[in-house]
Amino acid sequence: MEKKIPYINLIKQSSEDRIEVFKAFKKIFATGNFILGDEVNKFEKKICNFLKIKNCVALNSGTDAIVLGLFLLGVRRGDEVITPPNSFIASTAAIVHLGAIPVFADVNEDQNIDPNYIEKKITKKTKAIMPVHLSGRSCDMNKIKKISKNYNIPILEDAAQSIGTKYRNKFVGTFGDIGCFSAHPLKNLNAIGDAGYLITNNLKYAKLAKRLRNHGIEKRNNILNFGYVSRMDNLQAAILNLRFKNLKNIIKKRRHNSSLYFKYLKNLKRITLPVEKKYEYNTYHTFVIIAEKRNELKKHLERKGISTAIHYPNLIFEQPAYIKKFKKINFNSFPKAKYLNRRILTLPINQFLSSKQIERVCREIIEFYKL
């Protein structure tokens, strides 16, 4: 019997650099400097250099990056933030935690927010536009920036899944007023626990974010704001600094795996592949296809020992947490999100998969549609 093909491989991910990780930990333990510190400063500089941005603020999660980012943009109770309904719950949760109201705009076939729907959702209460670069694919930032300029509404980019993704030769996260990223273990640049970061060219925002992440402390006994505990610790920063050098290789391997899917599945008419547009450079945090008989295909692959996922099984306004707090939304008001929600399937694409394993996944998909 053939070995199972895992959707993710966190054991291998954590073992390949284990010796270097332990050395980094030993160094930090010797100093006793666990909160913020030199490794955090180094990480912030690495991100600035890589993304060609002026400021980076290292935080404890991508979620806190969004919360702080929206706060910096002036989002408060009763304000509205336009965002897609098909993201991970953290995007909308950040809006809700500030007492603001998520306003959903439908998406395109690439699962990213449709700029045409953004404009239709703008009201006097709209305080920010939050596109989500889902699955390592970029939103249409030129159109979104044009809307932002026309209505004088700031942009916060949720780039949690898209470190290294480019739109027209520029990194996502750098188009808006603020960009937010996650370094969760499942991300292409990953810590061994929770971590995230916020980027901006606005020095005022960066200074306030650095203060807010640390209780609002300016100096030890000078509290200028009621802040949060949103700091990235020195241990996680050390891991990220260590793994940063491998980021380009990880992206290269995932792009190679994606090319194999395109090679073997391009002529299969009953699925749609995540085609990369000429002006995009996708990093394939996930590889999401649109498939006929999605649920049946998923079960078939499971029987064959191939793990897949659905990102995400329910739209945000279908979740109990949303329904309890807000008015019920008509599913039919989001025709594209509804269409995709019943058909999307995420295939394994992690950097530890071999070409033969990708070929096997493709072979089983082709076989399924012959049945």
Residues 104 and 163: their CA atoms lie apart, in Å, by 24
Q: Which residues touch 304 (CB under 8 Å, ≥6 apart)?
A: 2, 364
The Cα-based distances of 324 to 73, 91, 316, 320 in angstroms read 27, 18, 12, 6
- Sketch out the chain's domains with CATH numbers: 10-244 (3.40.640.10), 247-370 (3.90.1150.10)
Q: What is the pLDDT of residue 1?
A: 59
- For residue 83, what are the CA distances in angstroms to 134, 192, 216, 239, 259? 12, 29, 28, 32, 30
pLDDT at 371: 78
**What pTM did the predictor assign?**
0.96
Give the number of C-alpha atoms closer than 13 A to the C-alpha of residue 163, restricted to the C-beta side. 28
| The pLDDT value given to residue 268 | 96
pLDDT at 320: 95
**How many degrees, rounded to 5, is the angle at CA 164 between CA 117 and CA 298?**
70
- 83 beta partners: 104
- CA torsion angle for 202, 93, 131, 199 (degrees, to 10)? 30
Pair 155, 128: CB distance under 8 Å? yes
For residue 234, what are its two tokens? 């020195």
What is the reported pLDDT for 220?
80
The pLDDT value given to residue 255: 98
Q: What is the pLDDT of residue 330?
A: 86
Which distant-in-sequence residues (6+ apart) come within 8 Å of 249 by Cβ? 351
For the chain, the 3-state helix, strand and coil shares in percent, each to the nearest 5, are 45, 15, 40
Locate all alpha helices (DSSP H) within the chain, ordered by sequence: 10-15, 18-31, 38-51, 62-72, 89-97, 115-121, 141-151, 203-212, 234-244, 247-265, 294-303, 320-325, 335-341, 355-370
List per-residue pLDDT tens for the chain, 371 residues long.
578 999 999 999 988 899 999 999 999 999 998 999 999 999 999 999 999 999 999 999 999 999 999 999 999 999 999 999 999 999 999 999 999 999 999 999 999 999 999 999 999 999 999 999 999 999 999 999 999 999 999 999 999 999 999 999 999 999 999 999 999 999 999 999 999 999 999 999 999 999 999 999 988 888 999 999 999 999 999 999 999 999 999 999 999 999 999 999 999 999 999 999 999 999 999 999 999 999 999 999 999 999 999 999 999 999 999 999 998 898 899 999 999 999 999 999 999 999 999 999 999 999 999 97
Residues 80, 81, 84, 88, Cα dihedral to 10°: -110
